[in-house]
Amino acid sequence: MVLDEPKETDDSYQVDGLTYLIDKDLSKMSGKVTVDFVDNGWQQGFTVNSELPLGGGASCSSGCGDSCGA
């Protein structure tokens, strides 16, 4: 997850006043994507989950600047 400017190759979604961008090709591969913020005392950060499995796992959770992927 990064801050970015919209490109022609992105799909754009607005939720609660925020604009989310996802690459059109990635959107086709991932299906529905959900972004949530977790704070349960021992874990804090954003989670990104996809409807369809992606390489490296279908979800990524990072609270300390960790990266995810294969």
Does this model's pTM top 0.95?
A: no
Query: Could you give the number of structural domains in the chain?
Result: 1
- 68: in domain: no
Mean pLDDT across 4-15: 91
Note down the domain range covering 32: 10-62
- 1: in domain: no
- 16: in domain: yes
pLDDT at 57 over 80: no
Confidence class of residue 7 from pLDDT cuts 50, 70 and 90?
Answer: very high
- 67: in domain: no
pLDDT in the model for residue 31: 87
Long-range contacts, 51-57 (Cβ 8 Å, 24+)? 54/29, 54/30
pLDDT in the model for residue 38: 93
- 43: in domain: yes
CB 32 within 8 A of CB 51: yes
- 69: in domain: no
